[in-house]
Chain A
Amino acid sequence: MKAWSLLFGLTAVIATAAFVYAPFDEDWWLPSYRATNAEAMATLEEIDARSGALAGEVEAMRDLGGPASAEQLEGLDSGRRWLARQAVRLGMMADQGFLSERSRELQSRAALASEAVASAREALGIGPAPAAVEEAVGALEGLRERAEAAIASVSEPGGSLRAPISSAARQIDHLYVLILVITGLTFVGVMGAMVVALWRFGAKPGRKAVYSHGSLKVEIAWTVIPGAILVFLALYQLRAWADIKFKSSYPDVAPLAEVTARQFQWTIRYPGPDGQIGTGDDLHTVNDLHFVKGQPTIIRLKSDDVLHSFFLPQLRIKQDAVPGMDIPVLFDADKAGRFELLCAELCGWGHYKMRAQVTVHETQDEFDEWLARSLEEQDYPPPPASDPDGVAAAAVPPGPGVE
């Protein structure tokens, strides 16, 4: 009896601890949307921190009596080199489609700051140069501010897995926490009740255990209360289900793309300039999904072979792809940056390879730029200039017939 009550008691304590700790901890069981942007975030955070510090360093040299010391000049030199490196990194981020507009702006600002620091160093080597210092500090401050703004557009403050960054995520996380609280409290309560019952009604020296044939009242209570809770949850979640899955509640937008799952990759087809999917000017990509921040987006999900599942973990969207069906899937994202698309249905030996990159653009312009560039790459070598749109009219006379 002692052992049993110890076991139940310990389980209750561990459950309570896990319940208090787990959901509020940072990303320890799934990669968060922050982690998928890890490299870019590290760059931005480094720029944010170091350009501020560098600005302070330069500022301190404004009112020097004479030329700066060799040590100070060395500091400026390493700062300039660091800025040049950041410009390269930012250029790569822009090429990868990570906040391409902001990254490109940051890149040119980093290059400007690098130049400003270089000319300040030049001037300070000779004598006091308040104007050059002023300019370098201004360039560095501007860079820092922009980096901060870029961070805010990608990540919630301290953004962990819990931070819901899509409409679906807000509803689903709310339900998740609610159900966790209800089941958690029930679990701890039941464990506690069992410990109490073991101690109060068990056999003790000089006393027999209490034997009971049951109590109708208690039985009704423990049937009706859980039943009521389940009915409540069933009704309460209807709204979320309807918003995420009911086609009748979908907003009136044209599908962004057709996503076809196949063993073992996602093939994606975007409408070309004519706005229609299934025509000759479509853009075909593999494992590369792009859409725009803050816009409700619909894709049409198909499968070429077996069951797959379209899973955007950071956006809390999951939808099975069924061969022979064309399923619209609705989602959105509040934050730009990069996310993951995974297959969540064991679909064969290469299931683990079914991972695609999702890029959320900050503006429609960024998306359009990406689309235009990709279409151009797909249409290489470029068509001759005399052809106005590169698309032929369907005006060829029918062929000579089938054998």
Chain B
Amino acid sequence: MGAWRHRRQHRQRWLGLLTVGIGAIALAGCSEPEPVLFSHDARLSGEEFAEKPNSRRAIETIVDEMFGPSPALLKVPEGTGLPRGGRRLAGLVREPGSDQVVPVTYRPPGAEQPVRLEGGQALYHRHCLHCHGVSGDGQGPTAPFLYPRPRDYRRGLYKFTSTDYGKKPTRDDLRRTISNGIDGTSMPAFRAQLEPIEIEQLIDYVIFLSLRGEVERALIEEASFFADEDLAGEEGMEELRLIAEDLAQGVIFPNWRDAMDPGAVVQPLSPRVASTPESIARGRDLFLGTSADVKLECVGCHGASGKGDGNSWIDPETFNRYVFLENHDPTDRGALEKLREIAEQRQRRWGDDWGDPLRPADLNRGVYKGGRRPIDLYWRIATGITGTPMPAHVTTLRDPDDLWHLVNFVLALPQQPELLRPDRARRPTGSAAAATAAAGPGSGATAGSAATASR
């Protein structure tokens, strides 16, 4: 009997311990997660500011005051031009002039009841953060594994715009990128996953992160005019705060508001030109620089065969070795540093303004990152691609129709590789293969491989 009771007590003790253990795990699981904070520019934690703790603290404090220290506590400064003062960024907002925090709602056309909205911040965290990062620095957890690298919003530079080179994108441009994705990159299309209003919220949030990043970068530049000890006291802080306000309200916010103006969109200088053989041939001559009147430098980057292997860029073998093959640890930027060194030594290009590796487009593939509509290609050629060496051609070309000739050529090239490479003349099997495909699905595989080979 004694032994039995002892065993029973023993078992009870174990049960008790087990309960406590499970409870502890459960409690730990339910505890508040670590707050997500906006990160600050890497330069602030680097060598540059190692000896200037006061400057660093001042910049971080002012940026946090202006935009909020974390996504959950974000603030939208006045004058950003965001619709409804940026109310759509957060799922909950404080009603103006009251302490009440209310959910953001929206009434779809035709509906009786308003629907609750999540807010751009929450949507961004679910769909975008893992590549683009909490503060939009393009350093999310999956970013190092991708090529091309995700966009860093903080410079406020965007590649695929309908505005002039270096100018901000319009909302339409951002909407197109989010809805259709970027062909040939890891940016997926979100049209099927998001409601139109949700895409608008995301656009707001992306612009918000750009504004924040641009103010931060500008402040880093401004702080270099201060002695570090000057920023220790409240007086220096107040001065820097005023500068920040001036920069934001006088330069950074107006740039974005300008892009909202319908006049910011570059309209074609001449109506579209039909894609005739003559037009394509003219486009090819312009591309190759063999036309008598205008000399363009397309071949220097895109190469004489249009494969993106021109002489101004580092050769593809070296590029691939350092970007894809030797870069076994994608989080280590050492291989990229080496690539940059080699490129500088040979005086060749290797990347974009963000310091990420990049190659000129292979025009034979029929992959158009900024969209495949003729107007998209027109914008790419006419206004260039912001942040890359692709220049605007609108001023270089005297005849505005030449832009359309180039568009027609670029659109035709994947179908007619013989335009640049006479040895690649398309075998006259195109129609025959398609005819067999139409005749029976059993022969579908042959038609498919012919189509693949010719692409």
Quick check: B193 and A381 within 8 Å, CB to CB? no
- A305 and B416 CA atoms in complex are apart in Å by 26
Return chain A residues, CB-CB under 8 Å to B186.
263-264, 350
Q: Which of A117-125, A183-191, A386-394 contacts B (4 or more CB under 8 A)?
A: A386-394
Indicate if B455 sits at the interface (CB-CB under 8 A): yes
Quick check: A300 and B448 within 8 Å, CB to CB? yes
Tell me what chain A mostly uses at the interface: helix, strand, loop, or mixed: loop
List residues 399-424 of chain B with CB under 8 A from any CB of chain A: 408, 411-412, 414-416, 418-423
Indicate if B191 sits at the interface (CB-CB under 8 A): yes
- A252 and B436 CA atoms in complex are apart in Å by 11
The answer, among A382, A383, A398, for a CB contact under 8 Å with B422, is A398
The answer, among A279, A396, A401, for a CB contact under 8 Å with B277, is A396
Quick check: B192 and A264 within 8 Å, CB to CB? no
Quick check: B110 and A392 within 8 Å, CB to CB? no
- A400 and B289 CA atoms in complex are apart in Å by 12
Interface residues on B, range: 35 or more
The answer, among B408, B440, B451, B455, for a CB contact under 8 Å with A392, is B408
Indicate if B327 sits at the interface (CB-CB under 8 A): no
Quick check: B272 and A398 within 8 Å, CB to CB? no
CB distance from B354 to the nearest CB of A (A): 22
Given the contacts A264-B188, A378-B373, A402 and B420 also touching, CB distance less than 8 Å: yes
Quick check: B437 and A392 within 8 Å, CB to CB? no
- A379 and B416 CA atoms in complex are apart in Å by 19
Quick check: A396 and B281 within 8 Å, CB to CB? yes
Number of interface residues of A (CB under 8 A): 63
- A386 and B275 CA atoms in complex are apart in Å by 11
CB distance from A324 to the nearest CB of B (A): 10
CB distance from A94 to the nearest CB of B (A): 13
Return chain B residues, CB-CB under 8 Å to A286.
180-181, 189, 191
Quick check: B109 and A357 within 8 Å, CB to CB? no
Indicate if A255 sits at the interface (CB-CB under 8 A): yes
The answer, among B189, B191, B268, B438, for a CB contact under 8 Å with A381, is B268
Quick check: B130 and A276 within 8 Å, CB to CB? no
- A236 and B192 CA atoms in complex are apart in Å by 39
Quick check: B110 and A85 within 8 Å, CB to CB? yes
Return chain A residues, CB-CB under 8 Å to B183.
267
Return chain A residues, CB-CB under 8 Å to B374.
379-381
The answer, among B193, B271, B418, for a CB contact under 8 Å with A384, is B271
Closest-by-CB residue of A relative to B305 is A402
Given the contacts A278-B454, A379-B373, A255 and B274 also touching, CB distance less than 8 Å: no
Indicate if B434 sits at the interface (CB-CB under 8 A): yes
- A279 and B414 CA atoms in complex are apart in Å by 9
Tell me how many residue pairs across A and B have CB atoms closer than 8 Å.
160
CB distance from B169 to the nearest CB of A (A): 18
Closest-by-CB residue of B relative to A287 is B192
- A378 and B186 CA atoms in complex are apart in Å by 22
CB distance from B448 to the nearest CB of A (A): 4
Return chain B residues, CB-CB under 8 Å to A252.
439-441
Return chain A residues, CB-CB under 8 Å to B12.
none
Indicate if A318 sits at the interface (CB-CB under 8 A): no
Indicate if A303 sits at the interface (CB-CB under 8 A): no
Return chain A residues, CB-CB under 8 Å to B192.
287-288, 355-357
Quick check: A276 and B305 within 8 Å, CB to CB? no
Return chain B residues, CB-CB under 8 Å to A206.
none
- A328 and B447 CA atoms in complex are apart in Å by 12
The answer, among B193, B305, B439, B452, for a CB contact under 8 Å with A355, is B193
Indicate if B358 sits at the interface (CB-CB under 8 A): no
Closest-by-CB residue of A relative to B376 is A380
Return chain B residues, CB-CB under 8 Å to A302.
448
Quick check: B304 and A392 within 8 Å, CB to CB? no
Indicate if A157 sits at the interface (CB-CB under 8 A): no
Indicate if A219 sits at the interface (CB-CB under 8 A): no
- A395 and B440 CA atoms in complex are apart in Å by 30
Quick check: A255 and B441 within 8 Å, CB to CB? yes
Quick check: A387 and B275 within 8 Å, CB to CB? yes
Indicate if A210 sits at the interface (CB-CB under 8 A): no
Indicate if A92 sits at the interface (CB-CB under 8 A): yes
Encode B300-329 as 1/0 by CB contact (under 8 A) with A: 000011000000000000000000000000
List residues 314-346 of chain A with CB under 8 A from any CB of chain B: 326, 328
Closest-by-CB residue of A relative to B434 is A276
A258, A263, A328, A398 pick with most chain B CB within 10 angstroms: A398
- A395 and B277 CA atoms in complex are apart in Å by 6
List residues 353-403 of chain A with CB under 8 A from any CB of chain B: 353, 355-357, 377-384, 386-387, 390-403
Quick check: A254 and B274 within 8 Å, CB to CB? no
The answer, among A254, A298, A398, for a CB contact under 8 Å with B418, is A398
Closest-by-CB residue of B relative to A278 is B451
Encode B234-245 as 1/0 by CB contact (under 8 A) with A: 000000000000
The answer, among B189, B275, B415, B426, for a CB contact under 8 Å with A383, is B275
What is A's interface to B at a CB cutoff of 8 Å?
43, 85-86, 88-89, 92, 247-248, 250, 252-255, 258, 263-265, 267, 275-280, 284, 286-288, 298, 300, 302, 326, 328, 349-350, 353, 355-357, 377-384, 386-387, 390-403
Given contacts A357-B192, A402-B422, 5 further A-B contacts (CB under 8 A): A88-B110, A254-B437, A286-B180, A392-B408, A402-B421
